[in-house]
Amino acid sequence: MVMRSVIVGCGSYLPARIVTNDELARTVDTSDEWITQRTGIRSRHIAAEGEKTSDLALKAAQAALAHGGVAVDEVDLIVLATATPDQTFPATAAKVQAALGMTRGAAFDVQAVCSGFIYALSVADNFIKAGQARTVLVIGAETFSRILDWTDRTTCVLFGDGAGAVVLRAEEGQGTSEDRGILSTHLHSDGRHHDLLYVDGGPSSTQTVGHVRMAGQEVFKHAVVNLAEVVGEALAANGLTPGDLDWLVPHQANRRIIESTGRKLKLDPSRVVMTVDHHGNTSAASIPLALCEAVTDGRIQRGELVLLEAMGGGFTWGAALVRF
Ligand code: ACO
């Protein structure tokens, strides 16, 4: 017998305002054609003035709890992945905890940028395996629009705002890949590349919030290699092959990166969940947003094998293999 973290609910929230590529092209020197061809992005959601990361996170969390039929007072832990917290401290997770009306347990943030949701899922899974929590809310929430340089066309066209959440529940499994729940998680980082994708501000350096800076081509090259490695690692760790997979739910940064991973896994494109076209890159929120979309529209069914993967600033990257 082993303890498994089963996804019993998922929810998401996107700000109401949709910004198309054409709208961006009115303020920066870009075009719908360039953005679509290079990234696959057509539109993204942008938070309203005064709408904070915790507001998006709260709505996604409430939707996930409702979907799973889980009461707030059952939740032992909130792990929230974000690179765009409301404030430097306290953790955005603590604000969500209060807004949910949850007065027990613990809540904290995890920071691994675009890999944040995989990191948060891994942390939560380990709390469940160690017997320290039975019901965990894992949230990815971002307002990247607040840290974009809206005059820099090489970055501002790529990102969007949003939040997604899942509820994990401890359930006993047999210890085989037929178990429902998280089968394994695999985290990596290589801090030597911290200056290829970063924010040029922070409390202890500039005392400002700063803006996203990125060496796009370098990030692209590392992403393709690292993601191919980590998905192989996740399958091998469970004695599985790409043919066993039902779904790939990748971090949504760029259609070309996603298709490259899908091709390496020899997956039919219809088995790769793609939301980058209408969400843009929502960093830590992108995987739970995509997962929730495919669960809600009935594509992902109970018992199916789902591979999640992401790569982000740090560099950080990782994967999680989940039987839904
Ligand atoms: N509109 C029009 N032209 C642009 C734009 C734009 N928005 N942005 C850049 N260009 C121009 C450049 O200035 C350059 O012009 P030049 O040749 O005259 O100098 C030309 O387009 C080509 O630029 P490249 O950077 O070489 O374009 P590339 O094909 O590499 O695409 C992109 C850029 C989309 C950023 C790509 O490198 C990429 O997707 N990288 C991965 C980055 C990423 O996804 N980061 C997200 C976080 S990490 C992650 O989640 C994996």
Tell me how far apart the alpha carbons of residues 314 and 318 are, in angstroms, rounded to a whole number: 12
Instruction: Provide the whole-model pTM.
Output: 0.97
CA of 187 to the centre of ligand 1 (A): 27
| Ligand 1 in reach of 254 Cβ (< 6 A) | yes
Q: How many helices (H) and strands (E) does the chain have?
A: 10, 13
What confidence score (pLDDT) does residue 296 get? 97
Nearest CA to ligand 1 atom 41: 220
Q: Tell me if 320 sits within 8 A of 234, measured CB to CB.
A: yes
Instruction: Show which residues are catalytic.
Output: 114, 251, 281
Strands 43-46 and 161-173: unpaired
| Ligand 1 in reach of 115 Cβ (< 6 A) | no
Q: Which atom of ligand 1 is nearest to the CA of 153?
A: 7
Tell me how far apart the alpha carbons of residues 239 and 266 are, in angstroms, rounded to a whole number: 17
Instruction: Express each pLDDT in 266-305 by its tens digit.
Output: 999 999 999 999 999 999 999 999 999 999 999 999 999 9
Using DSSP's 3-state secondary structure scheme, residue 4 falls into strand
CA of 29 to the centre of ligand 1 (A): 13
- Sign of the torsion angle spanned by Cα atoms 210, 61, 75, 292: negative
| Ligand 1 in reach of 223 Cβ (< 6 A) | yes
For 101, 109, 143, 226, 299, the CA distances from 94, given in Å and listed in that order, are 11, 8, 17, 33, 33
What confidence score (pLDDT) does residue 185 get? 98
Instruction: Express each pLDDT in 165-194 by its tens digit.
Output: 999 999 999 999 999 999 999 999 999 999
What φ, ψ does residue 60 adopt, rounded to 5°? -65, -40
Nearest CA to ligand 1 atom 35: 216
Q: Which atom of ligand 1 is nearest to the CA of 38?
A: 34
Domains in the chain, ordered, with CATH? 2-173 (3.40.47.10), 181-323 (3.40.47.10)
Residues of the chain with pLDDT under 50: none
Q: Which atom of ligand 1 is nearest to the CA of 157?
A: 7
What confidence score (pLDDT) does residue 302 get? 97
Question: Which residue out of 219, 257, 260 has the highest number of ligand 1 atoms within 8 Å of its CB and is therefore the one to mutate?
Answer: 219
Nearest CA to ligand 1 atom 3: 30
CA of 217 to the centre of ligand 1 (A): 7
Question: Which residue out of 42, 217, 226, 317 has the highest number of ligand 1 atoms within 8 Å of its CB and is therefore the one to mutate?
Answer: 217
Crossing angle between the packed helical segments 255-264 and 32-39, to the nearest 10 degrees? 20
- 49: burial class by Cβ within 10 Å (0-12, 13-18, 19+)? exposed
| Ligand 1 in reach of 154 Cβ (< 6 A) | yes
